[in-house]
Structure 1
Amino acid sequence: MENKIKAILGNNIQFTPTNLGLTNNIYKGKIGFENVAIRIPKEETKELSAFNNEKNVLPLIKDLDLDVPEIYYDPETRVRITRWIPNAIEYKLCHDEDKIERVAKILKKFHGANLKSGVDFNCVALLNEYRSHIKDLLHPLDDYYHLISDIQQIHNEHILCHNDLVSGNLLFTKEKDYLIDYEYAKDNDPLFDIMSFFTENKITDSNLRNRFYAAYFDSPLTPIQIKQLSIYESFHNLLWCTWANMMYDLLHEEIYLEIANDKYNALKISAQ
């Protein structure tokens, strides 16, 4: 890993590992007087199809001024180096009262651009891909595959979506808010993205969700939208429980076991 980084940036770079990233190794480095974030994919995740559209997305979102400034990017290896944003706080660690409205405004700007990458986020195919890599199933996930038929009945227009709205991909500073890490970004239903944010950040409180809706939507939710969001909630829990099970099979790291258990418990509740 050290040789890879030095081959890209030269021997004068200083860098240290961080505890950030699940499918990537994230390092904090220094080039001259500038601090940088260095993302290097883990070997075990290089062949997964989920990441094959990032090279198309990054040029599309550049003018939205939501991502952190890029210094280096290799689409073949997915190694990416960006500026390190000082004093940035991720969503779950931010204590500002209006943080949920700020996320809604970020997503409204992102979705409101109506961008299309030409590559669809096929969540069903992704689910099946993750399932195919699992040798030891931690939970009876196949019992919930009936959710696929519900997903396939939703026919909303697909535009560019982020699809991975975990806390660490939403950064706040006093000057600006950021949406980062577009590895999963493909064309999808914006409602899927909204539920990605809710499920990944364990936002189950109806008041918080309603505050988000008020800041994001220009009119009240329709009964159809409410039903579709509910379907997406269960499917998200199934998809990412399957992903975590796969990652635990590949890496045998406890963090993935914790995620798999957490998502399965959420799945049992949401799919009732």
Structure 2
Amino acid sequence: MKTPQGLTNEISLKNNIMTKTSNKYVDYFLNRKAEASLYEQLKSKKNLDFILHPIKWGFNPDKTFYSEWIYYSNAYTFVDKPAMLQDDEVLKKVITTIEKYHEIEVDMPMFQPHDYLEKFRSKIKNPLIDLSSYESKLNEVISRFFDGDFKIVLSHNDMVPGNFLFVDNELKFIDFEYSLKNIYLFDFGGFITETLPVNKFNDFMNLLNLNQKEKDKLSQLVFYQYILWINWSTYMYETSNKDVYRQLAYLMKEKLDNFNNLTF
């Protein structure tokens, strides 16, 4: 496994301990007190071998947040081995692990779809992409976000390829800084939005085995997350001037343009 390079934290490695340190631009939109509370609550939980828990965490004197993790040099993620995503057995393992995470009972704040999106939109000075044509649908999705009596669970909320870590070929979740209570379908939508190859969409949907009501909600959540990630990427590009964020914004726009070709 290569030394990870985080998009939202400064990462250092010493004596097989990886330290993640935040910055003010990221702390603006992440609830670090909730993150610290989650780690504290997870300490007393059993049968959590499917996640990697930090060994230490807290706030620095400058109020940035840090967490320390054991570094596994032989581990790998979907970033290192993207071809694994073509394997239905791997996709089944992803689904099972997401479901296990959702079973963890902890006290965490609720995800707020409007307020969270506005954190980025209110700070963007020069939008990279015109999303005005999606505004009406976006408002409808947000206004009905929690309609339908869908189960609320502990949601990871960050299903990027690098957060699926394989240690001794066993899948483990890492990086819980976005975790909040949310609809159980949100993580499946995140996996579709951020990680799943488009050619595996139908296979993944078949493996999920959802009813039509769930499929309709999942479609809305995928749409919302495309919009969210475009705004997140634009905000990060403006605050860091790193081209990787600009590229990510356009990648998400490309996926958004292809959204109507997906059959939920």
TM-score by length of 1: 0.82
Matched, 1:199 2:199: no
Give the partner amino acid of 2:128: L
1:198-246: CA deviation from partner (whole Å, max 9, x where unpaired): 1111433334313541xxxxxx311111111111111110000000001
The correspondence for 1:137, drawn from 123, 127, 139, is 127
1:40-91: CA deviation from partner (whole Å, max 9, x where unpaired): 1134222224544211212333432333243321145320111002311102
Aligned to 1:72: 56
The correspondence for 2:141, drawn from 141, 150, 159, is 150
Q: CA deviation at 1:141?
A: 2.1
1:93-129: CA deviation from partner (whole Å, max 9, x where unpaired): 334533212211211111133x242401112211111
Matched, 1:238 2:227: yes
Give the partner amino acid of 2:37: N
- 1:55-204 correspondence to structure 2 within 5 Å: 55-62=36-43, 63=45, 64-75=48-59, 77-94=64-81, 95-96=83-84, 97=87, 98-113=89-104, 115-146=105-136, 147-153=138-144, 154-155=146-147, 156-174=150-168, 176-204=170-198
Give the partner amino acid of 1:99: V
CA distance in 2, matches of 1:55, 1:151: 28
CA distance in 2, matches of 1:69, 1:231: 31
Output the aligned Cα RMSD. 2.2
Q: CA deviation at 1:271?
A: 5.5
CA distance in 2, matches of 1:58, 1:167: 22
CA distance in 2, matches of 1:47, 1:57: 19
Worse-superposed segment, 257-266 or 146-155: 146-155
CA distance in 1, matches of 2:91, 2:132: 34
- Structure 1 stretches of 4+ moved >6 Å: none
Q: Is there any run of 5+ residues in structure 2 with no aligned partner, and where?
A: none
Aligned to 2:11: 26
CA distance in 2, matches of 1:92, 1:100: 15
> Percent same amino acid at aligned positions?
25
Q: SS of 2:111's equivalent?
A: coil
Query: Does the CA contact (< 8 Å) of 2:159 and 2:191 recur in 1?
Result: yes
Q: SS of 2:11's equivalent?
A: strand
Worse-superposed segment, 240-249 or 80-89: 80-89
Q: CA deviation at 1:137?
A: 0.7
CA gap 1:69/1:151 in 2 versus in 1, 3 angstroms = closer
CA distance in 2, matches of 1:141, 1:45: 23
CA distance in 2, matches of 1:235, 1:163: 13
Q: SS of 1:159's equivalent?
A: strand
Q: Is there any run of 5+ residues in structure 1 with no aligned partner, and where?
A: 1-16, 214-219
TM-score by length of 2: 0.84
Worse-superposed segment, 115-124 or 103-112: 115-124
Q: CA deviation at 1:148?
A: 2.8
Give the partner amino acid of 1:84: Y
CA gap 1:85/1:148 in 2 versus in 1, 3 angstroms = farther
Q: SS of 1:82's equivalent?
A: strand
